[in-house]
A and B are shown apart, each in its own frame.
Chain A
Amino acid sequence: GEDVEQSLFLSVREGDSSVINCTYTDSSSTYLYWYKQEPGAGLQLLTYIFSNMDMKQDQRLTVLLNKKDKHLSLRIADTQTGDSAIYFCAESHDYKLSFGAGTTVTVRA
């Protein structure tokens, strides 16, 4: 099966940038996704990137994709307390998604 790995925890100071990293194994993935899960809620799609792109920017979010190394990252600029959540990386295969374990981001004042 597909494997998606990401670190479990990240602590960042309010106003700093957060970088969440992810590695995946399925080189045939066409899309890669970042989802956010706030406490007590389901997952919400933050952004996605097509596999033939290197970078995608959307306001405070920047996604970088290194397809050769199968490495995906999400950068959140000017991190706010509302960014505290669990962030999941996911890759698509057919119409299924494979998720990483999730990175818990804690924003401290």
Chain B
Amino acid sequence: DVKVTQSSRYLVKRTGEKVFLECVQDMDHENMFWYRQDPGLGLRLIYFSYDVKMKEKGDIPEGYSVSREKKERFSLILESASTNQTSMYLCASRGTGNDEQYFGPGTRLTVT
């Protein structure tokens, strides 16, 4: 059974804190993605990675960074959390070609 797991389902942080969201996949996928989901806006791509140590900016990278030191793990980092980063964060992974993109269950982050 394929799996994408995220370290937390719910997270509450204070403004200015550094926040780490972790994602792990067990499918040996090359490509991994971080999205944020907001009502009425759908999913917006923050960053993606197509290989270890490789990353590319998505549509809304400002205020975020990522790390991919191992193939199975892709971390999203909020250097200094702000209230406008309160959102649902979804991680996904995908193999090559038209392999299905598999999603994790999401982390609902609240920044107060």
Contacts and interface: CB of A to CB of B under 8 A. Distances in A.
Nearest to B96: A95
Interface in B51-68: 58-59
Contacts of B42: 4, 88, 99-102
Nearest to A41: B105
B103 interface: yes
A97 B58 CA distance: 10
A97 B31 CA distance: 12
Given A42-B104, A100-B42, A101-B42, A95 B94 contact: yes
A101 B40 contact: yes
Contacts of B104: 42
Contacts of B74: none
A95 B31 contact: yes
A43 B50 CA distance: 20
Contacts of A96: 33, 45, 48, 58
Interface residues of B, number: 24
Interface in B98-112: 98, 100-101, 103-106
Contacts, number: 47
B31 A43 contact: no
A4 B43 CA distance: 11
A77 interface: no
Contacts of A48: 98
B11 to A, nearest CB: 15
Interface of B: 4, 31, 33, 35, 40-45, 48, 50, 58-59, 90, 92, 94, 98, 100-101, 103-106
15 contacts: A1-B59, A4-B42, A30-B98, A31-B98, A35-B103, A42-B103, A43-B103, A45-B101, A88-B43, A96-B33, A98-B45, A99-B42, A99-B44, A101-B40, A101-B41
